[in-house]
């Protein structure tokens, strides 16, 4: 008779143990999921900002093999126009003492990679920015724009390329006079 009373208690204990184990496994799985890792239909876009490595300043007295820049930070850089690999740095526009430049360096800051004459760029466009040595033409009241390659730049014209299309810009003063 005592065996009969013991059997329902063991059966109850085993069922309670099984339920407790199943329940604890379900909670553990929920706890190990990373926070915010839920499935939904919303895609969140996180903007990636690119750090600008362009150095800004005014051209100084430069030689045939060097480019001098008096930076906005008050430093003076004397850069080799030839890289360690023998490549020549690209100077876009004329090189005139006192003109404003945007410069990219290479070889740990010892050599000129690209120098853009901003004083000359501003003869052709006013709403622009430079990001890592690239010219970005901006629309009205926006930070979004078109990145263009400057093919040539002088006092008379600026030839640019965007999406396999080439355009030649005239100075703004000439456009305003027409």
pLDDT < 70 stretches in the chain: 1-14, 16-48, 140-144, 174-178
Tell me which H or E stretch contains 69. Answer: strand 66-71
Predicted pLDDT of residue 21: 58
- Asked if residue 135 lies in contact with residue 148, where contact means CB atoms within 8 angstroms, the answer is yes
Tell me which H or E stretch contains 3. Answer: helix 2-32
- Of 136, 135, 153, give the one whose Cα is nearest residue 144: 136
15: which 2 tokens?
């069922």
For residue 116, how far is the Cα from the chain centroid? 18
Predicted pLDDT of residue 146: 87
Nearest-angstrom CA–CA distance, 176 and 173: 5
Predicted pLDDT of residue 145: 82
Predicted pLDDT of residue 141: 57
Q: Give the DSSP letter of residue 107.
A: T
Nearest-angstrom CA–CA distance, 100 and 94: 11
Predicted pLDDT of residue 6: 55
pTM equals 0.68
Predicted pLDDT of residue 10: 65
């Amino acid at each position: 008779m005592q065996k009969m009373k013991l059997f329902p208690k063991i059966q109850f204990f085993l069922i309670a143990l099984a339920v407790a184990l199943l329940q604890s496994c379900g909670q553990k799985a929920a706890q190990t999921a990373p926070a915010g890792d839920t499935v939904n239909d919303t895609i969140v876009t996180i903007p990636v900002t690119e750090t600008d490595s362009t150095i800004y300043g005014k051209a100084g007295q430069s030689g045939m093999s060097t480019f001098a820049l008096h930076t906005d930070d008050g430093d003076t850089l004397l850069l080799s126009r030839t890289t360690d690999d023998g490549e020549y740095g690209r100077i876009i526009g004329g090189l005139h003492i006192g003109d404003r430049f945007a410069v990219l360096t290479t070889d740990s800051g010892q050599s000129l990679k690209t120098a853009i004459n901003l004083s000359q760029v501003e003869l052709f466009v006013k709403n622009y920015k430079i990001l890592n040595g690239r010219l970005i033409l901006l629309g009205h009241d926006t930070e979004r724009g078109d990145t263009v390659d400057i093919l040539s730049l002088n006092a008379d014209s600026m030839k640019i390329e965007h999406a396999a299309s080439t355009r030649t810009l005239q100075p703004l003063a000439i456009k305003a006079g027409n």
